[in-house]
A and B are shown apart, each in its own frame.
Chain A
Amino acid sequence: MNCANLHKGGSTMVSTGKAKKPSHRPKLTPPVYRYLRGYAFDPTLSIDLDTAAINELLFPIKWEDLEGPGPIGEYLEVIDIDPASKCMYAPVDLNDPYILAQNGLPPSEGNPQFHQQMVYAVAMLTISNFERALGRKVLWASRFTTRMFEYKNSYVQRLRIYPHALRQANAYYSPVKKALLFGYFPAVPSQRGMHLPGGTVFTCLSHDIIAHETSHALLDGMYRRFVEPSNPDVRAFHEAFADIVALFQRFSFPDVLRHQIALTRGDLAAENLLGQLAQQFGQSTGKYGALRDAIGKADKDTGKWEPLKPDPNALETTLEPHERGAILVAAVFDAFLTIYKSRIADLLRIASNGTGVLPNGALHPDLVNRLADEAAKAARHVLQVSIRALDYLAPVDVTFGEYLRAIITADYDVVPDDDLGYRIAFIEAFRRRGIYPRDVRSLSVDSLRWNEIDEPIGLRMKFERIGTSLLQSFLQASQPTSETEVSWDAKDRQTIFYETKRLRRELNRALRKLFISQRDDDEQLPITGLLLTTNNQVFDKKPWLKALFRRVRRRMYLEKRSHIYCKKRAPGKSYKQEYCLRFEVHTLRLAERVTPDGNLLRQFLIGIVQTRKDGFRGGCTLIIDADTYDLRYAIKKSVWSESRQRREDDYRAYVAGSSNYATFFGESSNEPFALLHSQQEN
């Protein structure tokens, strides 16, 4: 909507003082990238001779016409206010010719403007990685407000970033403020670290911390119910996922990759910087080694680094979200290593003349380049499949096992034949860490993939019916129909948000209509796990429908239904709509993916959430083929699962007092991530 302004802003920045003079220069298209300098890891590595050379690099940031200094762009606004020091720092203007000419400010710990540039660059990089994997524009979580007893759900265009918000060893994403808050703190003196004792550590200068927090925000934008700790995996998943993104994002830095591969002689499983997260943060809070180490950690007694051995029982005993999340990170990293090894097996054979034993000394630079290419490619694939798998999760109560199923399904849908063994690598790595889904018979690709709906009795018809009306319009809206009209992808995000919101509302109505005559307990509950039909007053008005229900079954059904909120009677509406059981169309997305074969895969993703009166939630993600309107998968979390409810109750009882904080203040709902990062539990 403000495109015009943006362009104006963009052109003024290039033309300097003499604006009136007619320009004779050819019309230029904007560049693809804006290059910005930054730390590949964090400042500590710049003072170490081994790593100084690779620590500073150029981030290729997708070009956007910034709205102003800050930087303030389409996705982000950096506001550098430091209430603890009672001051603010002038915003950096990345369009300043001097800054443009030198690819951004040079890395410096003492210059707040560089800090702003760094958070902007890394957060933007994370966003574009997400967009590439998901095949659509990302939206931040919307803002819910109540005004005069009315809920309002409004669009949040930009994630706000405060690079110097806190004075503590902490950084977090605030779901309430839709903001990232970074802290700074004096380093704990230690002999081992490379820190100036008492010097200041800035969390906003660490690539990993920025990428981690941005991923939290992105994930929250997709599934806002993943903040609710309904089982031990949910928060751990949030942490793990953010770590996975940070970790594999590093592998997109070719220089670093080459350096590390040369250093470890191709064996990425050896200790290397790429596998460690948040180097500086971890070192200065007095814990040797990185904050969260995906593949190994320092031995407590000797301080020597040791690879982490997969422990199939660890999952049962580890409940602290970061530690539990580390298990998932390790599993994904392990899968990556397997994939990488199988990709480079031939290269190593060539390089070692078939012996498999590399000659002593440094590797040939060409070999290093080729290995780095393969590693980058493998990492890109793993990152993409990890992000894409998000679309295949139920909107509530995620578990690690389901994530594995989502990964397998996501990969299967895009690459039906798995000639490189990616899926096996994932299953193997997860199995070694005891991560299993609850409800599969065996750990084969076939049984791990979400069950395809074979015989959607009636349902297919139903979806066709919606399809012809609503989804069609959704599809049309998202497709360029003529050359003048911009495609869905090129539309600005605000339009996407409000359009989707409107369509979600319509879809809610359509689904209700669709299911109104459905014999609910017969068909929907097994498929969707939810109760979507009307309540009994419909039967009172339609005796012929009542006759369909046998007495017992109906009573059971009514009993269940009494746990769900009903829509209130609204005057002037037909009874069909009045008495529906409430549910929420949580998400509606169109995923478009180009498979390696060149086919276009288009799917509607409809997430539905239903909440019981006692607060227990069920949910379902329906994945519908956009071309045939076939319901392919229904990924459900039944709203009636007693065992799941029991597990949830137990876990909530545990969480309620499991830390010093929780003992006295209860579990925090306001800033869930703030606690996770600063209050380490025992």
Chain B
Amino acid sequence: MFERLRSRVRRVRRVSPQASQGYFLKIRMYNMRLGDCFLLTFASATRPDFHLLIDCGMHQRLGDKADRLKRVVEDIRDTTNGRIDLLVITHEHYDHISGFSAEFPQVRKIWDEEITIDKVWMAWTEGNDDPAPALRRERKAKTERLRAILKATNTTDALELLDFGGNEDLTDDESLAATMDYLKSIARTGTQFHFPGKAPLTIPGLDGIRFYVLGPPATADLLDQEPNAGEAYEEGTPLSLAQTFFTAALPETSDEFALNDYPFATKHRIDLYTTEYRYHESDEVSERMSVEETEEHRKARWFFHERYNAQAERWRQIDNDWLEAAIGLVLEEVEITNNTSLALAIEFIADQPITDPVILFPGDAQAGNWRSWRNHNWTIRGSNGQKDEVSAAALLERTIFYKVGHHGSHNATRSRDGLDSMGNLMVAMIPVEQKFALKQGKKGWKMPFGPLYKVLLKKTGGRVIRADQGWLDHDGKHILFSSTAVADFRKQQQAFTDVEFKAHLEALFAKDDKAEWNTFLNKYGIRTDDDIEWEPRHVLRFRDEVAQFMGAGAERFLQEISLSKTEWERFRGMVQRVPDSSDPLYYEFALSL
């Protein structure tokens, strides 16, 4: 029903001659519980709908993956008529690309046979130019070793984290690397790997829209480290700590086992272990250990036996404490991969460049990635030939829609030079199911992070759409906490949808007056043109539709958003939850630009 109403709206827009570069943008967030899948549809009067898909995946630890992914991909197929113009893969994490994995053959079949993908964009870190392949290899090796250590020490909650990169039950074909290879070959016209800071990307036929690549940054920034002036990192240095750590943790990797890895000369060593252990060491080491133990060594052994190994002293032993660093390395690994996210800012060019709205998809970029954005400046040639400087800060300032990174966790949304700068933010979407996140680990994952969620609600005036809750309900049941901003917004909205909208409609139905209709349509963002003759049959049909949805309690799933910020008054948006149940397939936010 809503769809019909929507097509009506679009039809009205399409015939409008002034809005040549005007778009009707629909941002659809599929409900992957914990995972990203965004379908953007750019509808305009001048060309067929352009479909942009950003990621498709669910978190590995979720139960209903195959079924849900199938439903989602089928819906993508139906919505796009089997043609996706552009697929953006942000980074290699299971919750972003598992929808393409060979693990789900039925889903893969739909991709292979029923959907064509025109173009694929990925970050430079997935490309074949140096140093990307080396970085990927290094990361893979690191993950494998970490997994081995964590399994050996039975650190389950850290192991769970590694599942962002797919767990070990996956076969080679199902692995994320294989999925990435598949994705690189899927596009009809090939895959492009993008560097940040280059001239903004445009797509032929998609006039008036620019894609700015903000991240991922250069190597050193992948990890959250602040490089200093005059300091040169050697390639791969951030991993050097990991290297020594691994050398010690996994002695069987004897090829890297060198005496240099020990802090002191051999003569100071008194080996901890029994002879049995020695045979497993490399020749060099066993030779070293066969040196006869001196009197001092025996004394020292006795000392440690008494002071360290004695029953009463066991509680102070530190045999495994140094392995705690593994947890740090796991976090580092998750962070590095998140920081390889292709962060995109999509700009819609309007008449005045100052008010060009931007929608922001940063993937799961974490602090290092965000921080690198400020280095970029773009020179834009405007329609009348003049040059404009665009900085990342300016793009953030003009952001009206924000896909919240990494399911709303603290570190994937930077406040300074980030969310703080988004003065015009209207809508934010968080692909998260809090209930599931809280069940992970020993203490639960903090997704979304409470204080961040609060700030988002405040900034958007309550327009935060979450996969598990969608829009705030009128009864306020889904509101986690009540801040005054949210309360005000609810009051405002309730008045608007319930009373004003209804009353207005009823008045219209009674009068059937063209002028009245025009004011109504203008007010609620449905632009009309004076050329259109409003015939009674139009009105009747529209009235039927509206009456139908009003009668069905439709205000619960269709909510007109009033965007009160002065500069942006010309935008109107709607949010839809389909189907209107507690577990909808998707949420759609529609915006006329």
Contact with B along A181-216 (1 / 0, CB 8 A): 101111011111000011010100000000000000
**Residues of chain B having any CB pair with chain A under 8 Å:** 157-158, 161, 224-226, 228-234, 237, 240-241, 244-245, 248-249, 251, 261-265, 268-273, 296-297, 299-300, 303-304, 307-308, 315-316, 318-322, 324-325, 327-328, 331, 334-335, 366-367, 409-411, 414, 440-447, 449-451
Q: Are B245 and A86 in contact (CB under 8 A)?
A: no
Let me know if A288 is at the binding interface, CB within 8 A.
Answer: yes
Kindly list chain A residues whose C-beta atoms are within 8 Å of the C-beta of B241.
168-169, 185-186
Partner of B300, one of A82, A91, A200, A661: A91
Report A-chain residues with C-beta under 8 Å of the C-beta of B225.
286
> What is the CA–CA distance of A167 and B247 in the complex, to the nearest angstrom?
11
Is A112 an interface position by the 8 A CB rule? yes
Chain A residues near B249: list those with CB within 8 A: 84
From B231, B240, B316, give the contact of A191 (CB < 8 A): B231
Which of A83, A168, A174, A661 is the one whose CB lies under 8 Å from B319?
A: A83
Task: Provide the A268-310 mask, 1 if CB < 8 A to any CB of B, else 0.
Answer: 0000000000000000001110000000001011110000000
- Could you tell me if B325 and A166 are in contact, using CB atoms closer than 8 angstroms? yes
Knowing A169-B241, A191-B231, A660-B331 are in contact, say whether A665-B273 is a contact too (CB < 8 A). Answer: no
Q: Which residues of B contact A72 (CB under 8 A)?
A: 307
Are the C-beta atoms of B263 and A184 separated by less than 8 Å? Answer: yes
A70 on interface, CB distance cutoff 8 Å:
yes
Residue from A81, A112, A302, A682 within 8 A of B264 (CB atoms):
A112
Question: What is the CB-to-nearest-CB distance from A333 to chain B, in angstroms, rounded to a whole number?
Answer: 24
Q: Report whether A666 and B411 are in contact in the complex, using a CB–CB cutoff of 8 Å.
A: no
With A86-B272, A300-B229 as known contacts, state yes or no: A663 contacts B447, CB within 8 Å. yes
| Bound: A298/B229 CA distance, A | 11
Contact present for A188 and B237 (CB under 8 Å): yes
Of the candidate stretches A27-35, A398-406, A649-657, the one touching chain B is A649-657
**A601: min CB distance to chain B, Å:** 38
* A87-B272 contact in complex given A185-B241, A188-B240, C-beta closer than 8 Å: yes
B559 to chain A: closest CB distance in Å? 29
| 8 A-B pairs with least C-beta separation | A666-B443, A657-B446, A90-B300, A657-B449, A87-B269, A84-B248, A168-B325, A166-B322
A86 and B271 in contact, given A657-B446, A663-B411, A678-B328 (Cβ under 8 angstroms): yes
A88 within 8 A of B: yes
Residues from chain B with Cβ under 8 Å of A298 in the complex: 228
Q: With an 8 A cutoff between CB atoms, is A664 at the interface?
A: yes
For the complex formed, measure the closest distance between the CB of A642 and the CB atoms of chain B, giving whole angstroms: 17
- Greatest chain B CB density within 10 A among A85, A91, A301 is at A85
B271 engages A301 (CB within 8 Å) = no
State the Cβ distance, B253 to closest chain A Cβ, in Å.
14
Q: How far is the CA of A15 from the CA of B444 in the complex (A)?
A: 62
Q: Interface with B: A157-165, A321-329, A486-494, A510-518, which one?
A: A157-165
How far in angstroms is the closest Cβ of chain B from A381? 37
Q: For A89, give its contact among B230, B270, B366 (CB under 8 Å).
A: B270
CA separation between A657 and B455, bound complex, in Å? 14
| Beta-carbon contact of A88 and B300 below 8 Å | yes
Task: Judge if A111 is at the interface, Cβ distance under 8 Å.
Answer: yes
Contacts of B265 in A (CB 8 A): 110
Question: Shortest Cβ distance from A186 into chain B, in angstroms?
Answer: 6
Smallest CB gap from B367: residue in A = A682
Q: In this assembly, does A662 line the interface, its C-beta being within 8 Å of a C-beta of chain B? A: yes
Give CA–CA (A197, B244) in the complex, Å. 14
A79 at the interface (CB under 8 A from B): yes
On whether the beta carbons of A168 and B410 are closer than 8 Å, the reply is no
Contact indicator B270/A88 (Cβ below 8 Å): yes
Contacts of A188 in B (CB 8 A): 233, 237, 240
Chain A nearest CB: distance from B290 CB in Å? 15
B87 to chain A, nearest CB (A): 29
Min CB distance A361 to B, Å, is: 32
Q: Is A106 an interface residue (CB 8 A)?
A: no
B268 — which chain A residues lie within 8 A by C-beta?
Answer: 89-90, 111-112
